[in-house]
Amino acid sequence: MFTFINKLLAGVFIITLLGSMKANSQNPEPTNTLTLSEVWKKTATYNKQLQMQQLKVESSDERVKTAKTERLPEVSAKGSYGRFSNFALYEDGLFKAPTQVPIEKKATYQFGAEAYLNLYNGGKTTREITAAQTESELAKDQKNLSEQELRYKAAAYYLDIYRNYKYEKVMLQDIAEREKELEEIRQLLKNGVVLKSDVLRAELKLSKQKMTLLEIRNSLKIAMQRLNIMMGDPDSAIIKIAADTIDAAALPERTYEDYLHQAYDNSYEFKISEKETKLSELKLKQVKANIMPKVGLYAEYAYTYPQIILYPYAFTLYGLGQAGVKATLPISQLYMNKHRKAEAKINLMRQEVEHEDTQDRVREDVRAAYLRFTEAVTRIQVAKENIAQAQENFRIVNNTYFNQLSLMTDLLDAETQLLQSRFDLTTAEVTAQLQYYQLLKATGNL
């Protein structure tokens, strides 16, 4: 039974490996050797969400310019043209036919221009400009927040590819060692030193290792496809990691308080919450300004035909203009603005509470990311110590087995522990790097 399973698994692995090699030889896939910085640059260029955020930023910048133009005078031109009907005189009453008095010159027209320059409107124009500038800054912070999320996601895929490459390297080394060991056990079987079951167990272990290698390679392809999609590259493009190792010891170490201060200064979630609170304050001030008077300069001049303003009338073109100061006091707003102001106050209070909640959430995220990062760094050292212990344990068990002083199960357990400890070191290194990026994201520095 063991022999049948062993041959079946080995056959599946060999067929899959040969098919993959044949396909690669016929259709070689493009290969990209990328650093993480290059991955971030490509994903930022390709990502549609960031492109939309950038357009939103540009739209907000134009809105600021539009708000500033409100300080300029309003100038308009006007004109009209019409025809007079005959002059109807109802000498015998409205229900009798009138006497039609013909008018020789029936045309009437007017053309001119007028201008208005606002001098004071309760500071509304200034606040509109400030609000537009705040919205522009808010759009930029939202774009930066989206870019941070994208960078973190790309880093996770990039490190996943790195981890699977390391797993593949470790597994290939282990398979080579197990194949050499299997030949030695077969030789012992020929000499009658060990049982047939030892050979079967070693062969089954080797087959399982080869299947695990196949799973690792498939996981590698999946991670590559995900990252290729983010970068806009072909799904099957091969990604090579530029950095061969991850040195977690080179990551900067700071205190939790340092990271927290950075978060309050740089966190985009915190900045967005601050600007939303500022917009609510401006909204309240704008509502309060509804009861303020409006004062401005105005001027107008027009040419009109015919002259029917002053007596005696004349069928001739005349020009008339005026200039002065115009003031308006919205008296109705004294009682209509009451509920608007109450609503704006409530919205401001709600936004202030939301800002405090954001501050608590930022502090919580920084604390969790910091503890997980320090935990991952510690795990690296533990994993290195475990490798040393597993190697020593394997050396002892390996010597005792081939000297017939221990069982095959002991040797297999020692091999499994050594392989797992090597995997654990790679996992710890990748986890530390990813947790560091998580910490940078929480502090707004990614």
- Compute CA distances 260 → 346, 347, 403, whole Å: 30, 28, 59
The position carrying tokens 């950038």 is 54
Average pLDDT over residues 240-255: 69
- Compute CA distances 159 → 150, 162, 432, whole Å: 14, 5, 11
3-class secondary structure, 81: strand
123-140 residue pLDDT tens: 888 999 999 999 999 999
CATH 1.20.1600.10 fits 245-292+329-446, yes or no: yes
Domain ranges of the chain: 1-70+136-242, 73-120+294-327, 245-292+329-446
Instruction: Indicate the range of 181-195, 346-360, 363-377 predicted with least confidence.
Output: 181-195
pTM, 2 dp: 0.78
Q: Judge if the upstream peptide bond of residue 234 is cis by omega within 30 degrees of 0.
A: no
pLDDT exceeds 60 at position 56: yes
pLDDT exceeds 60 at position 281: yes
Most confidently predicted of 83-92, 211-220, 228-237, 312-321: 211-220
How much is the pLDDT for 410? Answer: 85
The position carrying tokens 């608007």 is 340
Confidence of residue 232 (pLDDT cuts 50, 70, 90): confident
CA angle 107, 110, 115 (to 5 degrees): 175
CATH 1.20.1600.10 fits 1-70+136-242, yes or no: yes
3-class secondary structure, 32: strand
The whole-angstrom separation of Cα 281 and Cα 107 is 56
Q: What would the two tokens of residue 83 be? A: 């025809």
3-class secondary structure, 444: coil
- Residue 405 CA, distance from chain mean position: 60
